[in-house]
């Protein structure tokens, strides 16, 4: 006489656990890649916003803004600082390789310590490109034109 048993067999439980482990591993790698890509995109957007803010402040205050770019040869690190002197006394800095952007670096070009000026009319002393590179070695380029136009590629 066959007995009517309720529940799962050991093989069924092990199979379910194995499937859960495989799905969790895939999700972990996908989330890590998404996080790194998201950090790079967010950093590029913040660079875009900082450069536009510096340009707007230079125009509205009729004072030149200085953009200082500190790049690194290899990740992590780098920074971007925008400032206007007295009487406005405004400075804003983005640091890469730590804080919000642990997986993003500002790599050459331009040369480390390069300085660019945004005139009170909103034009730049020279056009330049900023390369933001993530831990996966993927890059986003922020281009700044002589007329102060900023684009992200």
* Pair 50, 80: CB distance under 8 Å: yes
What mean pLDDT, rounded, does the chain reach?
Answer: 89
- Which among 48, 57, 43, 70 is positioned nearest to 118, based on CA atoms? 57
pLDDT score, position 1: 54
pLDDT score, position 2: 61
List, for residues 91-147, the tens digit of each pLDDT value: 999 999 888 888 889 887 787 788 999 999 999 988 899 999 888 888 899 999 999
pLDDT score, position 86: 85
Written as six digits, the tokens of 65 are: 């803004």
Which domains does the chain show, CATH number per domain?
Answer: 10-152 (3.55.40.10)
- How confident is the model over 24-51, as a mean pLDDT? 88
* Pair 67, 115: CB distance under 8 Å: yes
The end-to-end CA distance of the chain, in Å, is 73
Buried b (16+ CB within 10 A) or exposed e, 7-40: eeeeeeeeeeeeeeeeeeeeeeeeeeeeebeebb
List, for residues 66-98, the tens digit of each pLDDT value: 999 998 877 788 999 999 998 889 999 999 988
DSSP E strand stretches across the chain: 65-70, 79-84, 90-95, 104-107, 114-118, 128-134, 139-144, 150-152
């Amino acid at each position: 006489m066959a007995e009517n048993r309720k529940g799962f067999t050991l093989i069924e439980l092990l199979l379910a656990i194995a499937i859960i482990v495989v799905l969790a591993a895939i999700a972990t790698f996908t989330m890590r890649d998404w996080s790194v890509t998201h950090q790079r995109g967010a950093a590029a957007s913040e660079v875009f916003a900082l450069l536009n803010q510096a340009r707007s402040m230079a125009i509205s205050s009729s004072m030149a803004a200085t953009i200082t770019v500190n790049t690194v040869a290899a990740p992590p690190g780098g920074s971007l600082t925008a400032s206007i002197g007295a009487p406005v006394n405004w400075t804003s800095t983005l640091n890469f390789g730590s804080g919000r952007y642990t997986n993003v670096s500002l790599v050459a070009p331009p040369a480390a310590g390069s300085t660019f000026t945004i005139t009170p009319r909103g034009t730049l002393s020279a056009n330049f490109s900023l390369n933001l590179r993530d831990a996966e070695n993927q890059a986003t380029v922020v281009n700044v034109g002589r007329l102060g136009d900023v684009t992200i590629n």
